[in-house]
Amino acid sequence: MLENTEAAILSDQRIEIDIIFKGLTILVVDDDNNHLSLIRYLLCKYGINVMLADNASLAFELIQQNTVDLLISDIVMPGKDGYGLIQQVRSLPLSPMREIPAIALSGVSKGESYEKALASGFQTYIQKPSNPTCLMEEVAKLI
């Protein structure tokens, strides 16, 4: 009997999670194609529409041309980095996209990178490789 109750609770939680995420559009930016694929796979499992960019310039174009609910961006990338991207987004004139919630990703441990990410305009910071549960918890907090 207890097992059935636990299964029902888990099932209800899964339904709530699916409802929360279904139909969201998240832009993921990373120069590592393997990491892009991994995050896309994870987000798609929850019914999230995923847009991918392998550099900050493409990501900025996509943000200007689309409605995006959340930005997940690597910090260290060739050319413009994640800090530059979020600063550019935050300075968009008269655009609702300037307020987009954003998660910074980095292979560097928190410390100084964490503080710089928050100061640049990200709401939170996750160290790579991303723990799927941690990533989805942060997504849920920001939407």
CATH of domain 23-142: 3.40.50.2300
pLDDT surpassing 90 at residue 111: no
Amino acid at 100: I
pLDDT digits (tens, 9 = 90+) for 54-65: 999 999 999 999
What is the tens place of the pLDDT at every residue in 74-95?
999 999 999 999 999 999 998 8
Contact 116, 81 (CB under 8 A): no
Q: Is 8 exposed, middle or buried (0-12, 13-18, 19+ CB in 10 A)?
A: exposed
Say how far residue 108 (Cα) sits from the centre of its chain.
17
Q: What are the backbone dihedrals phi and psi of residue 79, each rounded to the nearest 5 degrees, phi first? A: 75, -135
